[in-house]
Amino acid sequence: MVRDISTSVCGIKFRNPIIPASGTFGFGLEMADSMDLNLLGGISLKGTTAEPRYGNPTPRIAECEGGMLNSVGLQNPGIDRLTGEIVPSLRKVYGGVVIANISGFSEQEYALCCEKAAACEGIDMIELNISCPNVHGGGLAFGTDPRCAARVTAAARKAAGHKKLCVKLSPNVTDIVEIARACEAEGADALTLINTLLGMRINIATRKPVLANTTGGFSGRAIFPVALRMVWQVAHACSVPVIGCGGVGTAEDVIEMMMAGASAVQVGSENLRDPFCCPRIAAELPAVMERLGIEKLTEIIGTV
């Protein structure tokens, strides 16, 4: 029996649910000579801001048990180069779902980037990273306050026009459901969760933080139970589709995420450990489905 591994998110068809997460797969083109990108359901492109950014000082990446810390600081070439050069080049080799991950430090910057992404024919969906600090709101991350999250979602929704808007949620909050509902109420078509947790390590020999920025985002296999719990909570509290992300590394993890309520699944830090993990996970899905008696992936979404 042929197992159906296709899925859809807010009406957009994915040949399979596997999406390399933003920041862990570049812009896809970096891997085009090493793998068939069309084995991927979608690609969430590296986070992009209005102007080019060089990111934070080094060291800005550190391994730790069960995962990694990063404080890259949104290094990217800017929205104009993304839409004018990178996405058109990617479309020459990739026919799946292209997701532009948009970051910003003000509502105006988010809106500007979303408007430009929406005008780019090769972009299918816009993913809003609301874990950035609001420079006009005292530095508090947009995604940690429901009112800020609502305002930036509303601005992005207006700017995105006909393009589907997915909001990527921060786990560094007391109530993830409150944030999710605020974004849904202002027009989010889907929700991605989770982004990285906050973490820190100290070099005990130098008595200094391992990262130049002191703290960073903690990701990797260790955060999977936290991500799964939040996906389950939000999927049962909201009516829009959820894309699960956080600690995914196997086909079994994908099944678990979808049972918790995810319609598709992003793979993040595992790409940095094994750059070929996404096509491997997609290839392993049918055998896992057969073992579990699953004919179509979509039949298990939200069954727990």
What are 245's strand-pairing partners?
Answer: 266
Q: Cα(89)–Cα(105) distance, rounded to whole angstroms? A: 28
What are 14's strand-pairing partners?
Answer: 7
3-state SS of the chain?
CCCECCEEECCEEECCCEEECCCCCCCCHHHCCCCCHHHCCEEECCCECCCCECCCCCCCEEEECCEEEECCCCCECCHHHHHHHHHHHHHCCCCCEEEEEECCCCHHHHHHHHHHHHCCCCCCEEEEECCCECCCCCCCEHHHCHHHHHHHHHHHHHHHCCCEEEEECCCCCCCHHHHHHHHHHCCCCEEEECCCEEECCEECCCCEECCCCCCEEEECHHHHHHHHHHHHHHHHHCCCCEEEECCCCCHHHHHHHHHHCEEEEEECCHHHHCCCHHHHHHHHHHHHHHHHCCCEHHHHCCCC
Q: Cα(87)–Cα(147) distance, rounded to whole angstroms? A: 32
* Token pair belonging to 249: 């590394």
Catalytic site residue from 113, 120, 132, 277? 132
**Known catalytic membership, residue 132:** yes
* Token pair belonging to 265: 């699944």
The residues assigned a catalytic role are: 132
